Amino acid sequence: MEKSQNPIAVRSRSMLQQAMLELLTEQPYGQITVTALCEHAQLGRKTFYRNYAEKDDILREYIACLADGFLEKLREQAPFGDTAFAQTLFAYWKPYADLFRLLEQSGEFRFVQREFERVAARVGGWFTCPEAMREDRTFQRYCASFVSGGCYALLRDWMCGGAVEPVEQMTTLFCQIRRLKA
């Protein structure tokens, strides 16, 4: 669904996103209805369906926007090494730890996972193994999947655990793990 940039539509989507985030703190995602979202946002169902096909679209759009913000932060720092990447990764996502935890508890972390996969594809070359044979494309492809999967798992574990460890500690751990050899 093409998103209107009309200021009223943008404001309505923002209100529905805010309603979703607030309702997630009160009940599991599966129990949130379009009616509840509309009532909480003080908008009509017609407005909802003018902007979204289903409630999942709200989280998809919100998390995609967050992921785009993360990509922009990475672009600002390019080229970057492990330390800068990890610092950006953990510092950027830390404020969203509660949302991640709520999505995990509701069994709806798939929204974050899809966006992380999109981010990993866009970041591209960073998710390679330093020792990888450059001419072996098959090895490179699976190595990139392995590294991005590990990065995702580490971020997910940290976020769903409440992001208790400081960003600096997670950056150090990330870099230590990245340097492990088989």
13-22, 49-58, 100-109: range with lowest mean pLDDT = 100-109
Quick check: 89 and 155 in contact, CB under 8 A? yes
Q: What is residue 146's predicted lDDT score, i.e. its pLDDT?
A: 79
Q: What is residue 130's predicted lDDT score, i.e. its pLDDT?
A: 58
User: Which single residue is written with the structure tokens 């899809």?
Assistant: 114
DSSP of the chain: -PPP--HHHHHHHHHHHHHHHHHHTTS-GGG--HHHHHHHHT--HHHHHHH-SSTHHHHHHHHHHHHHHHHHHHHHH-S--HHHHHHHHHHHHGGGHHHHHHHHHTT-THHHHHHHHHHHHHHGGGSS-TT--TT-HHHHHHHHHHHHHHHHHHHHHHHHTTS-S-HHHHHHHHHHHHT---
Mean pLDDT of the chain: 87
Q: What is residue 18's predicted lDDT score, i.e. its pLDDT?
A: 97
- Tens of pLDDT, residue by residue over 121-155, are 777 666 666 565 566 778 777 777 777 788 889 99
- Tens of pLDDT, residue by residue over 80-118, are 778 888 999 999 999 999 999 999 988 888 888 888 888
Q: What is residue 134's predicted lDDT score, i.e. its pLDDT?
A: 61
Give the pTM. 0.83
- Tens of pLDDT, residue by residue over 8-17, are 999 999 999 9
**Alpha-carbon gap, residue 63 to 58, rounded angstroms:** 9
Quick check: 178 and 82 in contact, CB under 8 A? yes
Q: What is residue 2's predicted lDDT score, i.e. its pLDDT?
A: 64
Q: What is residue 21's predicted lDDT score, i.e. its pLDDT?
A: 96
* Greater model confidence, 107 or 53: 53
Q: What is residue 149's predicted lDDT score, i.e. its pLDDT?
A: 84
For CA atoms 25, 48, 55, 101, give the dihedral sign. negative
